[in-house]
Amino acid sequence: MQASDLTLYRQRIKQPQEVIAEILGVPLSTYQSFELGSIAIPEAASKTMFELLARYPGSVDLAKPKIEAFFKFKTEYKAMHGIEPSGVHRIVYQALGHTLSWTIDFTPLYPELDSHINNQIRTDKSIHPLLIRAYREAKFVVETSSPITLFIGKSNRDLSIVLQEHGVTTAAFITAHNPYSQPLDETVNAKVQSQLTKDVESTGYKFIKGYGQDIEEKWTREESILILGINETEAEKLSDKYQQNAFVWIGSIDAYVSLRLRRPIQVPSNEEMETWIAGLTKEQQTEVRKLSTLEQAWLLTASDEEQVHWLSPGAWDLNKNWPLAKPDGSAMGIGTELDRMFKIIAAGQSQIF
């Protein structure tokens, strides 16, 4: 199927791009790239599209009842199981008084970011905690003459000097690669990254090239740029334009590096949570069950060391330095455990995270 055919067929069944993108299991930006011809249309996508075009003997268009049945099935499946459907399912629907069926594969057209993270990472409106943890544990390298490596939740003196040299106090580290963490072809990634660079150049902001990658360097590098002097609102708009789950934000001259999520956290299934809790000590299990499901999800985004810290309040040394950020990524400053407690009380907060 050619790009022009895809557009023609979609218009023939009178459906917007958003609907077809969801049925094919791809981000809207990827589907739009199919129609533009910048990404080759996978065979699975062509097959599904041809099935939508199938007609009942005669001339009755089956696309509408199939699409209605598709969304009904997804809604009912999620209500029953708490997660989106995956794998192959048979969907039953009605047409001209007959009961028909449609077999559809809900497997994403592109592999997930990393198979060890979790099969719950999807292109929906939330981000799995373990994917957020992967972001928090990644390294973000600014390719200055002497490369600067940034880590979430830490200040970076070398970057602070760069900000001072350019007369700015803020910066954002953004990529256009892999929208919503769904890997794309290298050629496509290079094309959208080039467009991001042109967008930034048109605004007059100076930038430095870089890349993001996991510490063990198992992932392919995501080419990125550090945009100097940009404000947070502009950075959010740019991140959203290129359909990123998050971007790295530096909001002050001391170059404290924080993660800015652009979609809400996903609350894992009960099975996932119970598996995690079973691996904790009895004391930690007692503490974690005092938390709401949302708080538990945020705790999953933290490193093992931080999880032990937050779940062992009785063992805190009030004179020991504490993490620079809470599990949800918000900065708390620098100080001792006692300083942290005083700051939380002063801020009117009733919970540690």
Residue 32 domain boundaries: 3-105
pLDDT at 318: 63
Range with lowest mean pLDDT among 73-77, 227-231, 328-332: 328-332
Q: How far apart are CA 6 and CA 146, in angstroms?
A: 48
**Are 136 and 194 in a shared domain?**
yes
- Specify the number of domains making up the chain: 3
Q: Which residues are CB-contacts of 247 (< 8 A; sequence separation ≥ 6)?
A: 172, 173, 174, 175, 235, 236, 238, 239, 259, 260, 262
Q: What is the pLDDT of residue 314?
A: 77
pLDDT tens, 84-112? 787 788 888 777 677 878 788 777 665 43
Report pLDDT for 307.
Answer: 86
| Residue 46 shares a structural domain with residue 135 | no
- The percent of residues above 70 in pLDDT, for the chain, comes to 80
One domain for residues 79 and 144:
no
Confidence of residue 352 (pLDDT cuts 50, 70, 90): very low
Residues 257 and 140 in one domain: yes
Mean pLDDT score across all residues of the chain:
80
Q: What is the model's pTM? A: 0.60
d(CA 168, CA 252): 9
In a shared domain, residues 334 and 278: yes
Cβ neighbours for 3, distance < 8 A, ≥ 6 positions apart: 34, 35, 36, 37, 41
Q: Locate 146 and state its tokens.
A: 């002497």
Residue 148 sits in the same domain as residue 203: yes
Question: Does 122 map to a domain?
Answer: no
Are 220 and 190 in contact, with CB atoms under 8 Å apart? no
Are residue 77 and residue 152 in the same domain, yes or no? Answer: no
Supply the pLDDT for residue 328.
54
Using the predicted structure, report yes or no on whether residue 339 has a pLDDT greater than 80: no
- How large is the angle between the packed helices 232-241 and 186-203, nearest 10 degrees? 150
